[in-house]
Amino acid sequence: MPEFDYDLFCIGAGSGGVRACRFAAGFGARVAVAEERFMGGTCVNVGCIPKKLFSYASHFADDFEDAGGYGWTVFDAKFDWPTLVANKNKEIERLNGIYDRMLHAAGVEVFKSRAKVIDPHTVEVGGKRVTAGHILVATGGWATVPDIPGKDLAITSLEAFYLKKLPKKILIVGGGYIAVEFAGIFNGLGVDVVQLYRGPVFLRGFDDDVRHFLCDEMRKKGVDLRFNHNVIAIEEAGGKLCATLDTGNEETVDAVMFCTGRDPNSRGIGLEEAGVKLADNGAIKVNDYFQTSVPSIYAIGDVIDRIQLTPVALAEGMAVANTLFNNNPATVDYTNIASAVFSNPNIGCVGLTEAQAREKVGRVTVFTSDFKALKHTLSGSEERTFMKLIVNPSDDKVLGCHMVGPDAGEIVQGLAIALKCGATKAQFDATIGIHPTAAEEFVTMRTPVPEKDGTSS
């Protein structure tokens, strides 16, 4: 008779947890998973998928306007927010069902209930206690609002997907990718958008040229960007919200949205009582194989606060399944992970920023291109595209690729393969471009950006 009820019990049925469960079951393990909210986790329900759908919706305003230069006349174009929300909800429900069916097809037992760790091998779920040889925590993160007066009047990205009514004016607080994306979404849907960030420029951690270029493009589109600003209080005022800024000024809006951080979902599920060590921010501490301070308990995804991207959680889930049940101890290589920001226009990047590259190797060679895309020679739009390559002159390897422009994520995904393979600038130069495309600029940049002292960088 087995020592435990299951070989693996996973808490959380998001992308990483589902991947780990399915593959562990495929390797012959007896697996169960608990999910208290919705199948698919943050990405499917209140993250990547609905946000990208909203992003698509927001771009139609530009498309209608651009069409005029190509001879099209668009009559009486109107946007209906309830229709977008309803259609989004329908698609998310479809995906929820797919995740549920995938787990059952793999032979994974699904508990649609909150789970709590009792000890290193015991979980309480659905009013009963079950045992497992290994416990995997994949509970993700949750949006937070700073503790200021009136904070309960604010929304986060979680509520933004379900608003009953589209605000006429919104104040978005934050400088990360979620804030930037929603600023573009609401602006594209016709909302008057004010975005505040407490620092000098948003998107800390991205390449500086990319950050400043996107600022210019967003301002062209009418987003009111205010840096070195913050909100210190919110109150209701005549059916609207009055936000007091740290400058002493006030802003009256229909909604205040905070995109100022996400906390790991690690509290209140018995981890600390079971001996699992947490970082100060609540992130679960794990080793290279995602094992916590308790040998039988593992953790992956946003709850470990490494790189909060869905494909990373998937890779981590695969690694755990291989390590525990496929006799193949596996880690995850976090170098050269490509990412995109679905701002308007988009950002795509892979590898090091210029600042990171200079810190790592010293002198670097930088190539940039700033141009109006062919489409806009007739559209009349003032939107521009920016691309950047960072090269190590000592071995000619490309250290970073960065882009701001339409479909940046689609383009940079291919470049990520090149960087993973250690591509050199000479190999980029030897690649014949596809003409006419914006992407061909990445293989036609020949003149380095001069250093401030007059030499090539």
What are the catalytic residues?
Answer: 435
What is the bridge-based pairing of β-strands 141-143 and 169-173? unpaired
* Three-class DSSP category at 86: helix
The gap from C-alpha 105 to its chain's centroid, in whole angstroms, comes to 29
SS3 string, 305-363, reads CCCCCHHHHHHHHHHHHHHHHCCCCCCCCCCCCCEEECCCCCEEEEECCHHHHHHHHCC
CB 99 within 8 A of CB 18: yes
- Residue 79 CB-density burial (10 A; 0-12 exposed, 13-18 middle, 19+ buried): middle
Q: What are the structure tokens assigned to 105, written together? A: 């097809």
The gap from C-alpha 97 to its chain's centroid, in whole angstroms, comes to 23
Closest to 329 in 3D by CA, of 287, 297, 293: 287
Helical residues (DSSP H) of 124-226, grouped into ranges: 157-160, 177-188, 208-220
Sign of CA dihedral 287, 292, 295, 301: negative
The one-letter amino acid code at 120 reads P
Closest to 416 in 3D by CA, of 434, 399, 435, 430: 399
